[in-house]
Amino acid sequence: MSAKELLDVYKRIRDRITGGVESFDSINKLIVKRAEAEEKISHILKELIPEKTTPNDYIMENIIEDLKIESAQHLRMSNELKVLIIQSKSGKIFAKTQSENQKSIEKILHKQYKELKGLIKDYDNAVADVQKEQDALKTVKTEKRDAQQKKIAKATDEAAKRKKILEEFANKSKADQFPQICNMFRDFDKSRLKNLQENIQVFAQMAIRLHDSDREGANRLYKKILTFDAEDRSDRFVQTTIDPRAPPSSTESNDIYGIALSDYRSDEVQDLQFSRGDRIKILNQHNSGWWEGEVESRRGTFPSTFVEIVGKKEIKQLVIGSVLLCVKDYKATRAGEINVLTGDLIFVDYLNGDRCQGKNLRTNDSGAFPLSTLEHRMFTDNVQPHPAAANPPAQ
């Protein structure tokens, strides 16, 4: 490796360190801005929630609940970005160590680069002086040629001297400082990239969880609205508006309750936490095993295995995940419903009050339909679910 080649290597190392530090700082600034953006999104979602709402407005209640959960998830991501990356103790220690290592490399590198560049310049100037004196020899008078020859010899000696000094310094730098600089540079760059990789992995995991939560929230809201019986709700509302003394519809008493078999704790905002013995109002049941319930005005989801259904409504628990016989025709009257005919086999995936969500195995249509269309005997007697329930049809 020549002296000029060594100088080029030193320059590339210097540029790589400078560019790497700039990239490192830029990526960390992006993470800071992302945390700020997530916090702003959380506040914006909260601001969407109206201060006043109509009592017992099922649709508005579920929209507000979804907004609260989504807002909490965005705020959680913002806080975790700050704690795990931006303000983490290990992150600050790494940044300080990296800064010190950068200064150490640049100090050695700058000294070698500066001295080597100066010696190369001195040698190039000496070579230029030789060429200058040789060019002058072409035009000098005969009586002055000997004197000019002496100038050429002197310039040549000086160039040889500068070359020797340059080669000695370059050889010493290659033997001593160059390996040291390369090792320090390698460790510096490797640790920088590794730290960035770890931080972005943490960020990506947070983003995945946030997106999954948003998708689950949208699915949860969709299923609730899908099983919402607008006609029934409207009939009851109109009835009580016209005559407040009128007795409530029979569907008002269809509440299902369960008793907590053990404590349930969760870090997820959308989950319902309770203690053993708590009486839980079951709002929605789903084949996934995750139900929605209410305890002391708190709503959320929980694993169905933590609760035992009590009272007459216990029969409804057997409907979920079963294939049942249709005993009454039903024609879909609104979007999201399906037609069922007497004799159809229906796989039940979801239950909300007296409304089911499932699949007609004859038509392969999926949607909502009344629970009353199914044969009660099949889920009131102590019978096993249909074998097809073990392998539910694709939705």
- Please report the sign of the dihedral spanned by the C-alpha atoms of residue 235, residue 240, residue 243, residue 245: positive
**Residue 192 dihedral angles phi and psi, to the nearest 5°:** -60, -50
**Helix or strand (DSSP H, E) at 34:** helix 3-47
What's the pLDDT tens digit per position in 267-304? 888 889 998 878 898 888 776 778 889 998 898 999 98
- What is the pLDDT at residue 391? 47
Task: Supply the pTM of this predicted model.
Answer: 0.54
Question: What are 77-82's contacts with CB under 8 Å, separation 24+?
Answer: 77/35, 77/38, 77/206, 77/207, 77/209, 77/210, 78/35, 78/36, 78/38, 78/39, 78/42, 80/206, 81/31, 81/34, 81/35, 81/38, 81/203, 81/206, 82/35
What residues pair up with 309 in beta bridges, in sequence order? 258
Domain ranges for the chain = 3-212, 250-390
Segment 175-198 shows an average pLDDT of: 90
- 15: tokens are 């540029």
- 390: tokens are 């073990």
Residue 286 CB contacts under 8 Å (≥ 6 apart), including other chains: 223, 320, 349, 350, 351
What's the pLDDT tens digit per position in 206-244? 999 889 888 888 887 887 777 666 766 676 667 666 666
Residue 369 CB contacts under 8 Å (≥ 6 apart), including other chains: 330, 332, 337, 338, 340, 346, 355, 356, 358
Q: How far apart are CA 127 and CA 261, in angstroms?
A: 94
Q: If you average pLDDT over every residue of the chain, what do you get?
A: 82
Q: How far apart are CA 29 and CA 169, in angstroms?
A: 42
| Fold match, 3-212 / 250-390 | no
- What CATH topology corresponds to 250-390? SH3 type barrels. (2.30.30)
pLDDT band at 245 (very low <50, low <70, confident <90, very high): low
- 256: tokens are 């299902």
Q: How far apart are CA 141 and CA 137, in angstroms?
A: 8
Segment 310-332 shows an average pLDDT of: 70
Domain 3-212 has CATH 1.20.1270.60: yes
Segment 65-78 shows an average pLDDT of: 89
Q: In Å, how far from its chain's centre is CA 139?
A: 78
109 and 182 Cβ atoms separated by less than 8 Å: no
Q: Which residue has tokens 């299902």?
A: 256
